[in-house]
Amino acid sequence: MSNAPLSLEPRLEPRLESLLESPAFLHTLVDALGSPLNIVLPEQIAQNVERFRAVFRRHQLAGRVFFAHKANRSSALVRRLTTTEAALDAASLSELQHALGAGFHGERIMATGPKDPEFLWLAARSGATLNADGPGEIEEAAALVRAYDLPRLRVLLRLSEFETSGARTLSRRSRFGASVKSLDGVLDALERHQSALEPIGVGYHVDTTSLDEKATALEGCLRAMEELRIRGFQPRVVDVGGGFGVNYLAHAAQWDRYTTALTDAVMGRRPPMTWGGHGYGLRVESGTLKGSLSLYPAHRPIAGAAYLDALLARPAPSLGRPLGTLLLESLCDLYAEPGRALADQCGLSLGRVLEVRGTDAGEHLVRLAMNAGDVSLEEHGVLMDPVLVPRDGSADGSAADASGPVGVHLMGNLCLESDLVTRRTVRLPRLPCPGDVLAFPNTAGYCMDFSATSAQQQPVARKVAVHQEAGAWRWRLDEQYWPITYTGGHRA
Ligand SMILES: Cc1ncc(COP(=O)(O)O)c(C=O)c1O
């Protein structure tokens, strides 16, 4: 069997593709601002919002798309979103402050996740909606509203542990939200605190790729809405959370081939495909394959806005009619909180090649001026090849060395054995040279700044926002970006 490294080509939409075809521009940025460097594309996030809005229109649903800010810290992306129809999901005090400072009105913000008192206070003070994590938070919020004479706070109940009427499908346990079984008690609390809190609906965020599980949760929410109505509340919103996913790879066949070969390699039927025989969750015990692949399904035929579309078109597990129709008929507004899916194609991470070292085993180690925290694709289980951006500007770098496709291991800049930018052998079109840059596409969702640290005082990546003007790429530091032009003419 061939020992050639298998490709996992990234899926590139036109903006990201055009940026990667501009090596001189990318090298100028890395020369000026250092490595690692993160690039974000604010125009792309606006386009992604529009894709979600189109799904709402198709199902004739009113409602809102909240960007789950946790996916990326960029100011440019958040500021650009203020000029779209998007709202924002803030999961910490700093994210909330950032959103308010970017121009989001409190009314367009939802506070999610576990909260400290300061976060709760500012959310209430600024008129944000509280996505309540459980009964304790409801009590705390009501007490704050009364103690500080804050405006009545709109509250959405986050629910969990749904089941269909036949108890066939059960959604997984979560440390967040209140179990639907405890809904009665939560509604008692809301009744007691009516002067301080206004319940506007219910929601969920289930961390799964399964449409079945989400359909069960959504139907569970529709039932819970009935409970609220029976108690005399006037709920009007169902929030389907985030988790719509991203399709990272260009070719399904490459993904299938790769995962099959990885299983063969773990079984010893082909040479290792990873550093130290790492199995991404698979192992062999007494000749038998054990464990399961703990990888993100990098090729996802239905992801992002298309996933929401599929969910709304899906029949409710017990009621049998499409979930979108049931939402429409019960006059519910739909809220969604995509993070990763709105950040799809919105950025890339650049790392300069510092050293290329041959080994006795015949493999090459490529050391980068970045570390595993700077591009945490692997931490999120996303396997995807980087793109070589040659220093000499030739598309395939053929001027430097005509070695042809090679498999390399990518090492980070920390003195840690575990600091591997990728644990697998990565396929490049040729052996890189010091000074070349590797671009990791599509890192804006969680992979560019979620896990970055200043360990060993290595620099944390700076961030720039880029856009195209008259066919040329222009850039600004992320914090310098505002959605206005400096050419005298302002947006219509
Ligand atoms: C409450 C909530 N909403 C939305 C999201 C965003 O999820 P995703 O980025 O998968 O769309 C998360 C992610 O953790 C979350 O916890």
Nearest protein Cα to ligand 1, atom 9: 339
> 288 C-alpha to center of ligand 1: Å?
36
- Kindly list the distances between the CA atom of residue 26 and the CA atoms of 23, 307, 458, in Å, as whole numbers in the listed order: 5, 33, 21
Report which of 125, 134, 139, 130 is spatially closest to residue 109, judged by C-alpha positions: 130
CB-CB contact of 192 with 139 (8 Å): no
Rounded to whole angstroms, the Cα distance separating 279 from 270 reads 13
Residue 203: phi and psi, rounded to 5, are -165, 180
In the chain, the N- to C-terminal Cα span, in Å, equals 60
Rounded to whole angstroms, the Cα distance separating 109 from 105 reads 7
> 136 C-alpha to center of ligand 1: Å?
21
Atom of ligand 1 nearest to the CA of 113: 1
> 153 C-alpha to center of ligand 1: Å?
22
Rounded to whole angstroms, the Cα distance separating 307 from 41 reads 23
> 217 C-alpha to center of ligand 1: Å?
15
Fold for 14-41+347-478, please state it.
Lyase, Ornithine Decarboxylase; Chain A, domain 1 (2.40.37)
pLDDT of residue 27: 98
| pLDDT per residue as tens digits for the range 265-291 | 999 999 999 998 899 999 999 989 999
Residue 202, helix vs strand vs coil: strand
Report which of 6, 87, 18, 50 is spatially closest to residue 348, judged by C-alpha positions: 18
**Paired sense of beta strands 87-90 and 63-68, if any:** parallel
* pLDDT tens, the chain, 492 aa long: 456 679 999 999 999 999 999 999 999 999 999 999 999 999 999 999 999 999 999 999 999 999 999 999 999 999 999 999 999 999 999 999 999 999 999 999 999 999 999 999 999 999 999 999 989 999 999 999 999 999 999 999 999 998 765 545 566 667 788 888 889 999 999 999 999 999 999 999 988 899 999 999 999 999 999 999 999 999 999 999 999 999 999 999 999 999 999 999 999 999 999 998 899 999 999 989 999 999 999 999 999 999 999 999 999 999 999 999 999 999 999 999 999 999 999 999 999 999 999 988 888 999 999 999 999 998 899 999 999 999 986 655 454 455 789 999 999 999 888 889 999 999 999 999 999 999 999 999 999 998 888 888 889 999 999 999 999 999 999 999 999 987 665 554
Could you say which DSSP state residue 264 is in? H
Sorted by where each begins, the domain ranges of the chain are 14-41+347-478, 42-245+297-336, 252-291
Rounded to whole angstroms, the Cα distance separating 115 from 119 reads 6
Fold for 42-245+297-336, please state it.
TIM Barrel (3.20.20)
> 473 C-alpha to center of ligand 1: Å?
31
> 242 C-alpha to center of ligand 1: Å?
4
Q: State which of 133, 158, 335, 337 you would mutate to test the pocket of ligand 1, scoring each by most atoms of that ligand within 8 A of its C-beta.
A: 337
Q: What angle do CA 291, 292, 295 make, to 5 degrees?
A: 140
Q: What residues are in contact with ligand 1 under a 6 Å CB criterion? A: 68, 71, 89, 112-113, 205, 241-244, 337-341
Q: State which of 160, 205, 240, 450 you would mutate to test the pocket of ligand 1, scoring each by most atoms of that ligand within 8 A of its C-beta.
A: 205
Nearest protein Cα to ligand 1, atom 7: 242
Rounded to whole angstroms, the Cα distance separating 393 from 436 reads 9
> 241 C-alpha to center of ligand 1: Å?
6
* Omega prior to 36 cis, within 30 of 0: yes
pLDDT of residue 2: 55
**Paired sense of beta strands 406-411 and 387-389, if any:** unpaired
| pLDDT per residue as tens digits for the range 288-309 | 999 999 999 999 999 999 999 9
pLDDT of residue 387: 98
Atom of ligand 1 nearest to the CA of 339: 9
Atom of ligand 1 nearest to the CA of 338: 11
pTM of model > 0.75: yes
Report which of 271, 257, 349, 344 is spatially closest to residue 308, judged by C-alpha positions: 344
Atom of ligand 1 nearest to the CA of 242: 11
pLDDT of residue 293: 92
